[in-house]
Amino acid sequence: MGCNRNCGLITGAVIGAVLAVFGGILMPVGDMLIEKTIKKEVALEEGTTAYKNWVTTGTEVYRQFWIFDVQNPDEVAINSSNVKLKQRGPYTYRVRYLAKDNITQDPLTNTVSFVQPNGAIFEPSLSVGSENDTFTILNLAVAAAPHLYPNAFVQVLLNSLIKKSKSSMFQRRTVKELLWGYKDPFLSLVPYPIATTVGVFFPYNNTADGVYQVFNGKDDISKVGIINTYKGERTLGYWSDYCDLINGTDAATFPPFVEKTRVLEFFSSDICRSIYAVFAEELNLKGINVYRFVLPPKAFASPVQNPDNHCFCTDREISNNCTFFGVLDISKCKEGKPVILSLPHLLHASPEIAETVEGLNPNEEEHKTYLDVEPITGFTLRFAKRLQVNILVKPAKKIDALKGLKRNYIVPILWLNETGTIGTEKAEMFKSQVTGKINLLGTVEMVLLSVGVVMFVAFMISYCACRSKTAK
């Protein structure tokens, strides 16, 4: 009887030890299986999970616009007063709904090339009004004239055309005209061939961004999604030194196994440069663990604050000898038009820049840009891209509409919030196909290890107790 009991206890201990060892072995083996599966599924080739969601985005993406309505146009033009602004919006459009086009795999370089067609569909139910709502905004053509044509004689000729067209420093335009383009009356009178349609995002519909060539990850998963060339080049031609390089991905996906210490680099044609995001916090998105990465203020800091940004300072006069921060002059990217980008409401910008405008209320939570990235796959499951379009306006003695100004202005035109979040159905699919299996494997590993250790310890204690009792 005593032998049977001891044998049973020893058997139980052995079974527990086997379970614990099996659970321990399953951990590295399971990790290897996970890594192998992820490497296969995130490659950009037909048949993978990543490819399906890469060709056509798996989320609905919306771009919201807030227009800055100028309240005192005459005071500004005549007396050089501060520009008083009132924010109107949102006016919402669905974007990025078109599939990537001209997709071509190159097996020799393990890259895939494509273009991203552009399209925007107005969403009345998500907007405060219609596309025909009208606002008082800066006259884009008049404001740009002295920048594009600095010669005094040419400005005299342009001034006569501006007056003949009855144009002024400010104008009334609808949302649709401001965003997507309108025939400018002043430019229509210019006696030689120039583009006469003006709009903040003109042209957009029926155009395409690219050609992009990105690594597909078949030979090296750590390079998947990283841009090799843009429009056939590895540099942009807008900036000097390393600022001109095209770095990282397009932010829709990143190489897998993202760590909190990683700096996520990505390129955005909207801002004509590469930029980066750093880890901020860990969140739960519809049952999926994600890392939130945000654009740090350092990314738009002045060269004085961040010497790495020295090559983004292209005009010492505009930037107050490269000391202004929080703004980006992209005029070289816009054919000389005086376009200045910033975060909405001049968030993290030099206080001096906002001294000429009233009505801005920067808010970190509402106006920051962020990416919520699933760390195992590197997929971006939620994002908010927020930026503001401003125009630099200078006094011009030869142009009547601008000669009343006594200082430079950086005039906000609008700000946008482009957002996308993985849908509930897609989130459930993602959990069942990716994170669910990984979590299940992890649970099995821990259960086997825990149960095995408990069984081994319990049976060994019982065996020792029985031996001790028998000895007495």
Measured CA to CA, the distance from residue 308 to residue 100 in angstroms comes to 34
Residues 6+ apart with CB under 8 A from 306: 298
Measured CA to CA, the distance from residue 317 to residue 299 in angstroms comes to 21
Residues 6+ apart with CB under 8 A from 368: 294, 295, 343, 347, 384, 386
Measured CA to CA, the distance from residue 132 to residue 324 in angstroms comes to 36
Strand partners, 245: 235
Cα distances (angstroms) measured from residue 27 to each of 31, 38, 45, 443, 447: 6, 16, 29, 10, 12
Measured CA to CA, the distance from residue 432 to residue 294 in angstroms comes to 28
Residues of the chain with pLDDT under 70: 1-35, 37, 434-472
Helices 2-41 and 436-471, axial angle in degrees (round to 10): 160
Give the pTM. 0.87
Peptide bond into 154 cis (omega under 30): no
Give the pLDDT confidence score for residue 458 in this predicted structure.
55
Closest to 250 (Cα-Cα) out of 62, 39, 40, 44? 44
Burial of residue 170, with CB atoms counted within 10 A of its CB: 0-12 exposed, 13-18 middle, 19 or more buried:
buried
Burial of residue 365, with CB atoms counted within 10 A of its CB: 0-12 exposed, 13-18 middle, 19 or more buried:
exposed
Measured CA to CA, the distance from residue 39 to residue 18 in angstroms comes to 31
Measured CA to CA, the distance from residue 108 to residue 22 in angstroms comes to 42
Q: What is the CA radius of gyration of the chain?
A: 30
Give the pLDDT confidence score for residue 50 in this predicted structure.
85
Give the pLDDT confidence score for residue 20 in this predicted structure.
46
Give the pLDDT confidence score for residue 103 in this predicted structure.
96
Measured CA to CA, the distance from residue 131 to residue 70 in angstroms comes to 18
Closest to 144 (Cα-Cα) out of 387, 388, 399, 407? 399
Tokens of 82: 């501060």
Question: How close are the terminal C-alpha atoms of the chain, in Å?
Answer: 17
